[in-house]
Chain A
């Protein structure tokens, strides 16, 4: 009985270590991209050269959270720069960064 409990617990622990939950809900208007939400899923998706890229942020998988920076300009609009590093699983060179500039 103890052996059985040990095996079940071991399997559950392994499962929790190996499985990475991805909250990716596809957008029917933009195939391959996630819906635009404020639910804190920590997932960025974007078309790069016409192909959809999915970048989940996680402290366990090594992808840092996106950095957000306000850029001071001479215009009346606020400019926000959001950048993140592409995941190792997506591209061979993880140093490639994606930067999006938003004007508000």
Chain B
């Protein structure tokens, strides 16, 4: 699935490719800003490729993988078996896996004498997959029924995002990145969670190759 929707990206990158470019890889911490009752935290791994050799080239491609921490909730389970406690409170564990591929352009804001610079990246089009995996700890599904259970969900849809990037010491970068939730619905069955809107703070390294002289 991932490969199929990445194919246009690879074709585009081939078209835009010039004899140079920069690639950067960054990672840090991400917090969800869309869910109010529970918040999802992730370790984001972000990969950006700016294919143009022109120092003022503005287009780039970005891939983001968000590795989830467990978000915790609770669920009430009931039984009719008189030999067992009638009600149990179960711990619910939700893992939200996110993968996003985006295309965008950068707007230069500021440079100093040491060539440290600040950019705003705008990514008006991205495709993202969010996969929620639900698990109830110590759930005895033979004897108990959970009231209003959460269920697994996997959706792929369009997202938008933007980020502020500070490049310093030639190769280092600091990025503050925010992404919209999926432009999709979770379905008609009510769930306790919504799509994730990750707010990321990442630190990374720029690799330059075939630099212009």
Interface residues in chain A, defined as those with a beta carbon under 8 Å from any beta carbon in chain B = 23, 25, 27-29, 35-39, 77, 102-104
Interface residues in chain B, defined as those with a beta carbon under 8 Å from any beta carbon in chain A = 78, 80, 82, 86, 141, 145-149, 151, 188-190
Contact yes or no, B189 A36, CB < 8 A: no
Contact of B147 among A23, A25, A29, A37 (CB under 8 A): A37
| Chain B residues, CB < 8 A from A23 | 188
| Chain B residues, CB < 8 A from A25 | 151, 189
| Chain B residues, CB < 8 A from A103 | 80, 82
| Chain B residues, CB < 8 A from A38 | 147-148
Contact yes or no, B148 A29, CB < 8 A: no
Interchain nearest-CB distance for A99 vs B (Å)? 14
What is the interface of chain B mostly: helix, strand, loop, or mixed? loop
What is the interface of chain A mostly: helix, strand, loop, or mixed? loop
Interchain nearest-CB distance for B146 vs A (Å)? 7
Interchain nearest-CB distance for B192 vs A (Å)? 12
| 10 tightest Cβ-Cβ pairs between the two chains A and B | A36-B145, A29-B141, A25-B189, A37-B148, A36-B147, A35-B149, A38-B148, A38-B147, A103-B82, A102-B80
Can you name the residue of chain A whose Cβ is closest to the Cβ of B77? A36
Contact yes or no, A36 B80, CB < 8 A: no
Contact of A36 among B82, B146, B151 (CB under 8 A): B146
Interchain nearest-CB distance for A2 vs B (Å)? 35
